[in-house]
Amino acid sequence: MTDHALDYYQPPETDALGLIRLRATAAGLTEIAFVMEEDEPARPNAVTERARAQLAEYFDGTRQAFDLPLAPEGTDFQRRVWQALETIPFGETRCYAEIAEQLRCKGGQRAVGAANGRNPLAIVVPCHRVIGSDGRLTGYAGGIGRKQWLLAHEAGEVPFALG
C-alpha cells in the first residue's frame, strides 16, 4: 500500500499526550490519533510531513489554525459535524446543542456527540473544544485528561501532567 502514508509525532516538552499517529493518502490526512507506541514503521509523505510541521507550531504556540488537506472517511452527517467543529475558534468551546443548532439539526445533540466521538482527526478537527451544555468536559476519544490538557494549552495555561 504505497499510497497510504504513516508517520508519528511526539509533542515536545510533554509526555502528557503521548504519541500521535498520522495517516494520509495523497488526497489528505485520514487519521490523527493518540497511540501508546509505534505499531508500524513510519512511511511519511508530503501530507504527513506538513501535518507534523503544523502540529509542532500548534504545540509551540505559534499556530492556532491548521491548513492541511483532510480526507476523513465518514457518513455525510459525520463530515458535516466535523466541518462544523473546524469553525470553533482556537481557545473557545461550544456545546453539543450549539453544534446541532449550527447544523439545523434541532435536538440533535446526541447525534452530534456520536459523530464527534468518531472524529478521526484529533486536534486538527478540534473535537476537544466541544463540552457539555453545563460546561463540564464530556467524553473524548483520546481521554478526558488529554481534552483537559489541550483546552489548557489553548487557554495559555501552563500544561500539566496527566495523572
Tell me which residues are annotated as active site: 127
- Tell me the C-alpha distance between 98 and 109, whole Å: 8
Largest CA distance in the chain: 46
Q: Which residues pair with 35 in a beta bridge?
A: 19
